[in-house]
Amino acid sequence: MTDVFLDSCRNIIGGRHVLTAAADKAPYLTDWRGRFTGKARAVLRPANTAEVARLVQACAEHRVPLVPQGGKTGLVLGSVPDDSGLEVILSLGRLNRISDIDTGNRTMLVQAGCVLQQIQQAAAAEGMLFPLSLAAEGSCTIGGNLSTNAGGTAVLRYGNARELCLGLEVVTAQGEIWNGLRGLRKDNTGYDLRDLFIGAEGTLGVITAAVLKLYPMPRASITALLALDNPWQALSLLSLMQDHVGASLTAFELMSDFCLRLVAHHFPQLPKPFATAHPQYVLLEVSSAESEQHAVALLEMAIADAIERGHADDAVVATSMAQSAGLWQIREHISLAQSAAGKNIKHDISLPISNIPEFIEKTDDDLLEAFPGCQVVCFGHVGDGNLHYNVAPADGASHDAFLAHQPAINRIVHDNAHAFGGSISAEHGIGALKRGELSRYKSPVELNMMRAIKTALDPLGIMNPGKIL
Amino acid sequence: MTDVFLDSCRNIIGGRHVLTAAADKAPYLTDWRGRFTGKARAVLRPANTAEVARLVQACAEHRVPLVPQGGKTGLVLGSVPDDSGLEVILSLGRLNRISDIDTGNRTMLVQAGCVLQQIQQAAAAEGMLFPLSLAAEGSCTIGGNLSTNAGGTAVLRYGNARELCLGLEVVTAQGEIWNGLRGLRKDNTGYDLRDLFIGAEGTLGVITAAVLKLYPMPRASITALLALDNPWQALSLLSLMQDHVGASLTAFELMSDFCLRLVAHHFPQLPKPFATAHPQYVLLEVSSAESEQHAVALLEMAIADAIERGHADDAVVATSMAQSAGLWQIREHISLAQSAAGKNIKHDISLPISNIPEFIEKTDDDLLEAFPGCQVVCFGHVGDGNLHYNVAPADGASHDAFLAHQPAINRIVHDNAHAFGGSISAEHGIGALKRGELSRYKSPVELNMMRAIKTALDPLGIMNPGKIL
């Protein structure tokens, strides 16, 4: 049977890069957490921007909806197709070249399919830092990072993916190439199209390349774990730390005692910094352009002041970068410990930092009232106002049965986040998963503007339909 | 004679805030540099966002184009009306309240008509820093700063106005109020409307309020003036400084010897740091969250290394914040000295930092070839890639006659900026003045996307027409 559309795709990128066999397509269809498997008419694997443009032209001509896909590590079903079988997946994996590292301008030019870790390493090889860092960095691609405006652990100091990008190349929904690959820190020449495509999750166009900002590599980063009575103390501790060390504060992560007990239970080999339990902990990191000695002295001075003022009850300060890594491992094992404990209901919310303690108090109360005995695993990037507020069933209760309560639990958590001026998606995006939630919490004025922009840039509606809007 | 439109405006905001007499309108019609005087049907002075919304509704109903106006300090004719007499000016000056300073979230909520200096002072009164700083700060308003994505002297460390804003309130072209006043550092819930309105110069909607980011106030800022042979040395000096002091480098300004001689001639009372002349100078500033002593030690250490490595020939280091202020005065008097010397042709360009030396060399050569004896006053925020590259006639030549060459001189400077990957407007915007230049240097793909967005959000074309597009 002749398929005119697929034949034109084969003409553009060669038959072996147009995957139609079920076994060939399978690796592209299931989302990262294994919750959903879509269908695709084909998987298209272009080699360069010109091929992407021609493929999008073919999609436009034949009205074929397309789903741009990078490392497929998203958590909101943004990069997998729906189950109609009508969509094609546009895999950017072959656009994986780093073509220019300009140390004088502190920028690098990368293609969308470059894996984040590859970019970090290429920068480090030049003695520079590309600060974006997140759990999936070994698999995720920069095109996906930019399309979802990824966050991660370095946002406090360096900002989200948006703040780390100076310029973009985008294939529009008409299959034209927009070369916005500017390496400029100041450019006030019209509308900010760059930031419109960043975070648009592939619904307005396909990001094919980017100019990224690089930073000098700090000479040292030193970590401490502080014991606190409650989240209110974390707020005053954060203010004090920022006052004392300014931009040298590169991480400020809150973790409840329940998080640490979960980690200790599932990973008994990890350090146990305190002999007695405290209700909350803050992991903080100070980086210095000067020296390890300077970082340690700065951190110790600030912590001594924090304890004297009652902003923390106890502290363990790493005295070397090696000890620092050990403390970070506790933080990084929370998600793994949670997975080992069974399924749970995750939320990726953000709040004005000053509202975090009251949000936690009220939401904990509301959940315990509705679901007695449920267990809250609350941790996150408090310096950015971002909490991972996850909910697990009571000890011994069925995890699968508990998951049936997800809509009601989402409602409590998201309603409270919204009421406290927060967001239902801090760093993961909307995708297909949170689309219903988005329309619940966004104002009609904002939704209408978003729809008007979608229609203006993608009038045929072929770009990643069913995501965000 | 009945004017139905103006009567409805009077109903909304009261007759005394609808200015129609020539003498009342006059202060709103002429641009900051006194180069252009437009006409207006009326000046409307609403008191709050609801009134702005109702006025825009009236404008939409009667198809009356409107020009939002703040402090009117822009340099590109973005906030003055054209000479048709059909436009109304929407002056935001009465929306001047600072309603919430949240030290825990490090944010403040301000109305669009707040003067920048008023905002800086309100932050400082709480011990915080609002970093946006520019020459017009005593007159310009934050609504204008955001609408033009203002730059200034603190961009190297803190970014442009865009990076200092977390949320906006906007009255749309339909006269609806979009409440996007979020105080969140992470929020990935759909398209980035905030950054679309920032820098749109009032052509997509009217910014009425904003949530701004605050920073801890550094304990000390210390300045040095370094003598260099050429702009190439400035690049290696910048890299070395960033490597040594990281985010503590808060200013890095290049000035040619001609700039310093101009200042010394017109302001003989200012300090003359070096006994002999050098071709170029860099003013740099190091700030410390710790202490003045730390800032001085850090700066001295870095400069000693710079001189040892040959990245600078000589240096004068301020040993106190008072001495630092004296060195800044030299930099700040360049524009004043230029004005005293007579009219000149100004350019506000940006470049990839690594291309600055070659741009200067080639553009100096091209101009001298075309206009023998012309004098280039080149200085700027080199740490951000932003040059103020101004051109004056040969000694003794007529300034007025020279101004007639402005189109040819613009062409040389802008063509070279474009060829070196730069921008024709780094921090001033496009307005009506550079609209022709914009269409020359932007690609059709980009212009078409901008037009599509303009039409989508302002289908009647009433928002600041003739600006940008």
Residues A396 and A408 in one domain: yes
Last residue of a domain, one of B165, B184, B216: B216
Q: Does B235 touch chain A (CB under 8 A)?
A: yes
A360 and A299, same domain (yes or no): no
Nearest-neighbour CA in chain B from A286: distance (Å):
13
Q: Do A247 and B179 touch (CB under 8 A)?
A: no
Q: Distance (Å) from the C-alpha of residue B349 to the closest C-alpha of chain A?
A: 8
Q: How far is CA A166 from the centre of its chain?
A: 19
Nearest C-alpha of chain A: how many angstroms from B70?
Answer: 18
Residue A201's CB is within 10 A of a number of other CB atoms, namely 28
Which tens digits make up the pLDDT trace of B59-90? 999 999 999 999 999 999 999 999 999 999 99
Q: Which chain A residue's Cα is nearest to B239? A: A104
Which chain B residues touch A252 with a CB distance below 8 Å? none
Residues B421, B390 within the same domain: yes
A110 and A191 together in one domain:
yes
DSSP string, B123-186: HHHTTEE-----TTTTT-BHHHHHHTT---TTHHHH--GGGGEEEEEEEETTS-EEEE----S-
- Same domain for B417 and B331: no
Q: What is the DSSP letter of A393?
A: P
- Asked if the Cβ–Cβ distance from A457 to B457 is below 8 Å, we say no
| Residue B172: both structure tokens together | 């749309």
Residue range(s) defining the domain that contains residue A109: 98-216
The predicted structure's pLDDT at residue B345: 94
Question: Which of B:238-277 have CB within 8 Å of A?
Answer: 239, 242-248
**For position B1, what pLDDT does the model report?**
65
| Domain end residue (candidates: A335, A353, A383) | A335
pLDDT at B319: 82
Contact yes or no for B421 and A386 at CB 8 A: no
- Please indicate if any CB of chain B lies within 8 Å of the CB of A438: yes
Is the CB of A85 inside 8 Å of chain B's CB atoms?
A: no
From B218, B243, B427, residue closest to A246, measured CB to CB:
B218
Helix (H) or strand (E) holding A387: strand A386-392
Interface confidence (ipTM) of the complex = 0.97
Q: Is A235 within 8 Å of chain B by CB? A: yes
- The single residue listed with the structure tokens 């957490």 is A33
Strands, DSSP E only, in A126-214?
128-129, 165-172, 177-180, 205-213
CB-based contact (8 Å) between A453 and chain B? Answer: yes
- Cβ–Cβ contact B424 with A under 8 A: yes
CA proximity to B9, closest of B21, B20, B1, B23: B20
Q: What is the pLDDT of residues B152-210, one digit of tens each?
A: 889 999 999 999 999 999 999 999 999 999 999 999 999 999 999 999 999 999 999 99
| Phi and psi angles of residue B321, each rounded to the nearest 5 degrees, phi first | -70, -30
Mean pLDDT within B276-295:
95
Interface check for B83 against chain A (CB to CB < 8 A): the answer is: no
Q: Choose from B174, B185, B458 for mutation: most chain A CBs within 10 A.
A: B185
Residues of B with CB below 8 A from A442's CB?
Answer: 189-190
| CB-neighbour burial class of residue B291 (10 A; exposed 0-12, middle 13-18, buried 19+) | exposed
Domain termination site, one of B181, B216, B251: B216
Helix axes B49-62, B4-13, angle to 10 degrees: 170
Contact with chain B for residue A57, Cβ under 8 A = no
Q: Which residues contact B63 (CB under 8 A, 6 or more apart)?
A: B460, B462
CB contacts, 8 Å: A421 with chain B: 182-184
Distance to chain B for A1, nearest Cα, Å: 37
Contact of A61 with chain B, judged by CB distance below 8 Å, is answered with no
What mean pLDDT is reported for chain A?
Answer: 96
> Any idea of the CA torsion for A237, A239, A243, A245, to the nearest 10 degrees?
50
Domain assignment present for A226:
yes
Q: Of B155, B182, B200, which is closest to A185 when you measure between CB atoms?
A: B155
A185–chain B Cβ distance below 8 A for any pair: yes
Cα distances (angstroms) measured from residue B293 to each of A248, A425, B285, B321, B347? 17, 43, 14, 11, 39
Query: Residues A92-150: pLDDT tens digits?
Result: 999 999 988 999 999 999 999 999 999 999 999 999 999 999 999 999 999 999 999 99
Domain-located, residue A196: yes
Please give, rounded to a whole number of angstroms, the shortest distance from the CA of A455 to a CA of chain B: 8
Residue % of chain B over a pLDDT of 90: 94
> Where do the DSSP E strands lie in A64-136?
66-69, 88-91, 98-102, 107-111, 128-129
Contact: B191, A199; criterion CB under 8 Å: yes
Query: What's the CATH code of the domain at A187?
Result: 3.30.465.10
Q: From the CA of A248, how many Å to the nearest CA of chain B? A: 8
Query: pLDDT, tens digit, for every residue of B327-386?
Result: 999 999 999 999 899 889 999 999 999 999 999 999 999 999 999 999 999 999 999 999
* Residue B468 located in a structural domain: no
Report pLDDT digits (tens) over A328-347: 999 999 999 998 998 899 99
pLDDT at B343: 87
- B320 band by pLDDT with thresholds 50, 70 and 90: confident
**Cross-chain Cβ contact A102/B352 below 8 Å:** yes
Chain B nearest-CA distance from A190, in A, is 6
Distance CA(B297)–CA(A163), nearest Å, equals 31
Kindly state whether residues B10 and B28 are assigned to the same domain. Answer: yes
Residues of A in contact with B311 (CB under 8 A): none
Find the residue in A nearest to B294 (Cα).
A294
- On whether both A359 and A315 belong to a single domain, the answer is no
pLDDT of residue A1: 64
Q: How confident is the model at residue B100 (pLDDT cuts 50, 70, 90)?
A: confident
For tokens 């700039």, the residue is B259
Among chain A residues, CA nearest to B188: A429
Are A190 and B468 a contacting pair at CB < 8 A?
Answer: yes
CB contact under 8 A, A427 and B188: yes
Contact A469 B246 (CB under 8 A): no
Contacts of A171 in chain B (CB under 8 A): none
β-bridge partners, B108:
B101, B212
**Calpha distance A180→A408 (Å, rounded):** 44
What is the predicted pLDDT for the residue at A317?
Answer: 93
> What integer is the mean pLDDT of B123-133?
96
Q: Considering only the beta carbons, identify the residue of B160, B163, B189 that sits closest to A430.
A: B189
Chain B residues with beta carbon closer than 8 angstroms to that of A456: 452-453, 455-456
Out of A195, A381, A456, whose CB is closest to B453? Answer: A456
Decide if A184 and B160 are in contact by the 8 Å CB cutoff.
no
Task: Give me the pLDDT at residue B321, please.
Answer: 78
Q: How many domains does chain B have?
A: 4
Is residue A388 a contact partner of residue A337, using CB atoms and an 8 Å limit? no
- Interface touch B445/A189, C-beta < 8 Å: no
Query: Which is it for the CA torsion A376, A379, A383, A386, positive or negative?
Result: negative
The length of chain A in residues reads 469
Sign of CA dihedral A128, A133, A135, A136: negative
Residue A30 belongs to a domain: no
Residue range B288-293: mean pLDDT, rounded: 94
Query: What is the tally of helices (H) and strands (E) in chain B?
Result: 17, 18
Per-residue pLDDT averaged across B264-278, rounded? 94
Domain membership flag for residue A55: no
Domain membership of residue B304 (yes or no) is yes
Give B 16-35 residues with CB within 8 A of chain A: none
Q: Hey, is the C-beta of B321 within 8 angstroms of any chain A C-beta?
A: no
Counting as low any pLDDT under 70, the low residues of chain A are 1
C-alpha torsion angle, residues B187, B191, B195, B197 (rounded to 10): -130
Q: Among residues B160, B131, B353, B238, which one has the least CA distance to residue A187?
A: B160
Per the model's pLDDT, the better-predicted residue between B193 and B322 turns out to be B193
In this structure, are B376 and B394 located in the same domain? Answer: yes
Q: What mean pLDDT do residues B44-56 have?
A: 98
Closest CA to B354 of B394, B398, B391, B385: B385
Taking CB atoms and an 8 Å limit, are A355 and B424 in contact across chains?
no
Assign residue B358 the CATH number of its domain: 3.30.70.2740
Burial A97-128 (b: 16+ CB within 10 A, else e): ebeebbebbbbbbbbbbbbbebbbebbeeeeb
Nearest to B192 among A102, A190, A196 (CB): A196
Same domain, B117 and B156: yes
Q: Is A450 a domain residue?
A: no
Q: Per the CB < 8 Å rule, is B353 touching A384?
A: no
B442 within some domain: no
Which pLDDT score is estimated for B347?
Answer: 96
Q: For chains A and B, count residue pairs whose Cβ atoms are closer than 8 Å.
A: 277
Whether residue A242 is found in the same domain as residue A141:
no
Residues B112 and B57 both lie in one domain: no
Helix axes B257-266, B334-341, angle to 10 degrees: 70
Q: B334-341 and B321-332 helices cross at what angle (nearest 10)? A: 30
Does one domain contain both A202 and A277?
no
Q: Which of chain B's residues have a Cβ under 8 Å away from the Cβ of A246?
A: 215-216, 218, 247, 287-289
Token readout for A177 is 């190439």
Select from A155, A164, A189, A460 the residue whose CB has the most chain B CBs within 10 Å, as the one to mutate to test that interface.
A189
Alpha carbon distance B290, A253 (integer Å): 23
Q: Chain B contacts of A452, Cβ < 8 Å?
A: 456-457
Any A CB within 8 A of B49 CB: no
Q: Specify the CATH number for the domain of residue B249.
A: 3.30.70.2190
The whole-angstrom separation of Cα B57 and Cα B46 is 13
Q: Which of A115, A110, A41, A132 is nearest to A72 (CA)?
A: A115
How many Å lie between the alpha carbon of A214 and the closest alpha carbon of chain B?
11
Mean pLDDT (chain B, rounded):
96
Residue A130 DSSP code: -
* Contact present, B350 and A185 (Cβ < 8 Å): yes
Using the beta-carbon criterion (under 8 Å), do A239 and B191 form an inter-chain contact? no
